[in-house]
Amino acid sequence: MTLFEGTKLNFDLNHLIELSQHRSGYTRELAVKRLENLNDPKAIPALIERMNDWVLQVRQAAKKAFLNLLVPECTAELVSALPQIYHLKSCKRLKSTPIIKAVETFFSKKADRKLLESGILHKRCNIAILCTKIIITYKIFPASQIVHLCQQSKHNIVRLKAAELLQRISSPLNVRLISAALNDKFTPVRKKAIQLILDKGDTEYAVSVAKNSLTDHSSTVRMLAVNYLKKTSFNVEGYYLSSIDNATVPKLKCALWAIGFLSLKSYNNKIALYLDSEFPSIRKQPLRSLYQLDEENIKQILIERLKDNSLGVRQAAVRLLAQISYLLDYKDFQGGFKQVSNKGSYSSLLRVGRNMNKWDRITLLLALASNIKQSQKTESTYLEKEISIWYKNFNRSGVQPTSQQLASIKDNLVEAKVYLFHHEINSIYSVLIHTFKTYHIKHN
């Protein structure tokens, strides 16, 4: 305390901020009071921190100093401190509601409007979202101005809030703002915009927007457009079927999707031809459509796709197999991990292997271990993680392996041992050996 009373000592801002974190409560309190006298907006983060101090007097001094800084000149610093301010809601030592209310009232009535606008475009996502929330809640700017500002943000959530605000804009619709939302790269934004237009009724503009959305890269947007146009005189089926033979890759994907969505079962054989396309994105789309059209006979096709050299195709096949409740077997993978060598192939097989029983899963892991080369560091990391997961989460039941599973494990264990010791995870190998001994699996 005597340090603060010395007339010859001149504490600058940084030193006072440092002292505000001192282990002595008296020192922290006096430092906060000196910060209040400085009236410097750069002290705001330190004051917010001290408002949750474990000493009552420090909290009270910090609160008083912080509220005195709710002036237009401090707008920029307050905008930057919004995440810290709202974090006070989770603090138990302080009643944060009056403080947050005071901050929101300041932004709605006294804050510098230009700096508030810039908050929407802030490079930090959490600041931009909080600033947008305040502006929308308190209607600080007209709805059209808020939407225009939000649409310039690089953050998806901010642009989504702008799309939700479009309905506040009075009729007629602001075509410029609607068009920006319809062309947004974030699917929920486009979905909000098209839904708003379609809800307005059967208008020429709505029909035009729906037609343009038939080839949107998102199936959820296409579904909205198809369901709307089916109620009009537009021939949706004819539109898609006419382009299936002479379409670009994006439009062909949409056409293959539409055959499944519209349940055009007579085109089963037609879309099955595209399972051998040179483009992975084209090979993936028929899987979903065939699943919708002929779920009973899709299992074998999906199993074959597990050996595809495209990560996306394999993942799509796994998701569909899970939907038909098919329990994967090790034999479904045999040869698959030997045929693919592109980056990510092993990690894909490891993930799909989670939909297997206990012994088939460890057989797959050992088979992958025996095929990984020394240079494949990414695959090695994935494999080590999956073996650990198997031991912790899968190796709990007392189910005995079948004779076929036992033979597969024995075949793969010898080669896998070299890999496991090479990568210095012999502790995992020891765990496996202990498990195998429990079930009388020879491992020499």
Q: For residue range 153-174, what is the model confidence (pLDDT) as tens digits?
A: 999 999 999 898 887 775 566 7
Tell me if 318 sits within 8 A of 351, measured CB to CB. yes
The whole-number average pLDDT for the span 91-103 is 88
User: How sure is the predictor about 432, in pLDDT bands with cuts at 50, 70 and 90?
Assistant: low
DSSP assigned state of 53: -
Tens digit of pLDDT for each residue in 26-47? 888 899 998 888 888 899 999 9
User: How sure is the predictor about 365, in pLDDT bands with cuts at 50, 70 and 90?
Assistant: confident
Whether the predicted pLDDT of 107 surpasses 80: yes
Tell me if 37 sits within 8 A of 12, measured CB to CB. no
Six token digits for residue 343: 């980056």
Mention every residue, 6+ apart, whose C-beta is less than 8 A from residue 151: 159, 162, 177, 180, 181, 184
Whether the predicted pLDDT of 188 surpasses 50: yes
Whether the predicted pLDDT of 91 surpasses 70: yes
Find, among 321, 422, 417, 411, the residue nearest to 374 by Cα.
Answer: 422
pLDDT at 9: 44
Mention every residue, 6+ apart, whose C-beta is less than 8 A from residue 429: 417, 420, 421
Whether the predicted pLDDT of 138 surpasses 50: yes
- Percent of the chain at pLDDT > 90 equals 31
The whole-number average pLDDT for the span 411-415 is 73
Whether the predicted pLDDT of 129 surpasses 90: yes
Q: Which of 128-132, 289-293, 351-355 has the lowest mean pLDDT?
A: 351-355
Tens digit of pLDDT for each residue in 72-86? 999 999 999 999 999
The whole-number average pLDDT for the span 225-251 is 87
User: How sure is the predictor about 132, in pLDDT bands with cuts at 50, 70 and 90?
Assistant: very high
pLDDT at 441: 61
Rounded to the nearest 5 degrees, what angle is found at the Cα of 364, between the Cα atoms of 359 and 365? 100
Whether the predicted pLDDT of 101 surpasses 90: yes
Whether the predicted pLDDT of 13 surpasses 90: no
* Amino acid residing at 314: R
The whole-number average pLDDT for the span 280-291 is 89
Mean pLDDT of the chain: 81
pLDDT at 358: 78
Give the integer Cα–Cα distance in Å for 303 and 90: 49
Give the integer Cα–Cα distance in Å for 228 and 331: 45
pLDDT at 378: 61
pLDDT at 157: 94
